[in-house]
Amino acid sequence: MAKKSNYIADSFNELKTNVSWTPWSEVQRYTIIVAIFTVLFSLAIWGVDTVFQKAIAGFFNIING
């Protein structure tokens, strides 16, 4: 059991001392950029889906006459 607790303590120590963390302001900026592009891509996919839906419905209306 001592090995596991030493491993966990060493892992936290490693994260605190040896890992270079991105500054918080940069993380916030990138999060906003990702959120904006996610919304834009979602709208683009919705638009393409709507166009294809109408095109296929029109095609079947022509076939069924």
34 in any annotated domain: yes
Q: Alpha-carbon distance 36 to 1, whole Å?
A: 47
41 in any annotated domain: yes
List the domain range (segments joined by +) for residue 56: 22-65
- Mean pLDDT score, 18-47: 96
13 in any annotated domain: no
44 in any annotated domain: yes
Average pLDDT of the chain to the nearest whole number: 93
Render 3-58 in DSSP notation, one character per residue.
HHHHHHHHHHHHHHHT--PPPHHHHHHHHHHHHHHHHHHHHHHHHHHHHHHHHHHH
Q: 7-17 burial, b if ≥16 CB within 10 A, otherwise e?
A: eeeeeeeeeee
37 in any annotated domain: yes
- Mean pLDDT score, 8-16: 91
Task: Give the pTM.
Answer: 0.62
> What is the amino acid identity at position 23?
P
Structurally, the chain folds into a number of domains equal to 1
